[in-house]
Structure 1
Amino acid sequence: MDTSYSSSSKLVLYSFWQSSCAWRVRFALNLKGLAYEYKAVDLYKGEQFSPEFESLNPLHFVPVLVDGDLILSDSFAILLYLEDKYPQRALLPVDIKQKAFNLQVASIVASSIQPLHLLGRLKSIEEKVGPAEQRLLLQIHMKKGFVALEKLLRECSGRYAIGDEICLSVDTTKGFYMQADVFLAPQISAAAARFNIDMSEFPTLSKVHEAYKVLPAFQASLPQQQPDAVV
């Protein structure tokens, strides 16, 4: 793992192919059309605990984004930073109500669902209750978050979480925006593929997830498309 960086303007993303937090940043970078250098951090081998990576993120989590002399190590902070510095193809609208709704959806994923399947937490739960009980507990608590998201999106979703089109314009007063989708897409994928959650119980979430699958930006962000993927 090479953790060297320079003060150049090239974006560098430290990522692990199976991390849903890193996935949401990859998806956002692709939607915005931003080129970046991918640097793999193998969480299974413990590379996140190396002194080199700890200098980037003392919490030992991915993703980490390096932009010149700036180092950011939280996906939510990274995405808000990208919105401010690179406003092309905005993920957040100017309208304060739509913006708040996008952030609410994103926060439910980031705060109430994704932390349940942090690698360290999964190992700790399995050691205490065993793999079968671990899977059951995880499914129960993840579904609580999905129930809330399903109710929130039922009335406002179109093809995507909010509306029917992606905003591909630098004019941030028009179109629909995908901050909510950037968080939802990896989480729904992980729930179905890694944790065997029956997404047919959540028809609205399943509908928008099908729409993501045809987007080139989403396809390029898939775990199996990353250079460190093990498939």
Structure 2
Amino acid sequence: MARTVYFGSGSPYSWRVMLAMELKGLEYEAVELHFSKGDTQSAEHLARNPRGKIPVLIDGDITIYESTAIMAYLEKTYPEVPIFGADAREYALIWQRYAELENYLGNTISSILAPIFRGEAEGKDAEIKANLEKLKAELETVHGWLSGAGYIVGDSLSAADVTLYPQVALLRRVGPRLKESYGADFLNFEEKFPAFLPFMARIEALKNYDRTYPTHWRAAA
């Protein structure tokens, strides 16, 4: 059965879906859509997702959008390599952590980076610094989850792990800029949050990890 993932480079929602598919060992074609070219608003893409967002998964005659729905579909359809745990306890805890990463860590990151990336940060230093304090607290919480076993839940990678990874990868990429502009010294992961490093290494050891890596990050390297 042919599978195609439509993604945007650097989109954490796209990245988590592709990492989940790699974790499950699924074959798929990855088609990049460029925001700057208006690809997500084309008639062709709006036929896939009328909201004009990514990612979108086409699996045979099934089309799914929204990364959470895609992850749930993958788990139900391809259960051989589970990403939502081995029993009811793990299932609930992984969904709980997934929601926490989405609603707290993810939203805090967006509140910091959105005005910066949009060129709207002028005059918002106090707001951004306050959100950086929230970010520090969220990272401390997640670091606690990882300390010890090195996985968010249980003893293997899960949907929660592939949700966290793009968030941390983005923070490591923009950390020097946030440190220079707003004094965010805590984004030195090697010193402040060392448990993130072996966690990231586990994700990066996935067989086809490189194909998930944001294309524009690679081009800028």
TM-score by length of structure 1 reads 0.74
Q: In structure 2, what is the equivalent of residue 181 of structure 1?
A: 161
User: Aligned equivalents of 2:56 and 2:218: distance in 1?
Assistant: 18
CA contact (8 A) 1:72 1:78 kept: yes
Deviations 1:159-186 (A, max 9, x none): 433355xxxxxxxxxxx34222111211
Report what 1:6 is aligned to: none
Deviation at 1:48, TM superposition (A): 1.7
Which structure 2 residues correspond to residues 138-153 of structure 1 after superposition, within 5 A? 139-153=132-146
- In structure 2, relative to structure 1, the CA distance for the partners of 1:48 and 1:185 (3 Å cut) is same
- The amino acid of 2:158's aligned partner reads M
Give the unaligned 5+ runs of structure 1. Answer: 1-8, 165-175
What amino acid is the match of 1:178?
Answer: S
Distance 1:112 1:215, change over 3 A: same
Structure 1 counterpart of 2:34, one-letter code: D
Distance 2:208 2:89 in 1: 26
The separation in 2 between residues aligned to 1:19 and 1:204, in whole angstroms, is 24
Letter of the 2:201 partner, please give it: E
Report the Cα offset of residue 229 of structure 1.
5.9
- Matched to 2:38, the amino acid is G
Query: What percent of counterpart residues are identical?
Result: 24
TM-score, normalised via structure 2 length: 0.77
User: CA separation in 2, counterparts of 1:108 and 1:52?
Assistant: 34
1:157-196 equivalence runs, <5 A: 157-164=148-155, 176-196=156-176
- The correspondence for 2:209, drawn from 187, 212, 218, is 218
Q: How does 1:48-63 map to 2 (within 5 A)?
A: 48-63=40-55
Q: Which moved more, 1:128-137 or 1:212-221?
A: 128-137
2:84 is the counterpart of 1:92: yes
- Could you say which residue in structure 1 is the equivalent of 2:182? none
Cα separation, 2, equivalents of 1:57 and 1:82: 18
d(CA) in 1 for partners of 2:175 and 2:40?
Answer: 23
CA distance in 2, matches of 1:35, 1:87: 15
Q: Which residue of 2 aligns with 1:205?
A: 196
CA distance in 2, matches of 1:125, 1:35: 34
Q: Could you tell me how far 1:77 is from its partner in structure 2?
A: 1.0
Q: What SS does the aligned partner of 1:83 have? A: helix
Distance in 1, matches of 2:123 and 2:49, equals: 29
1:161–1:208 contact (8 Å) kept in structure 2: no
**Structure richer in helix, relative to its length:** 2
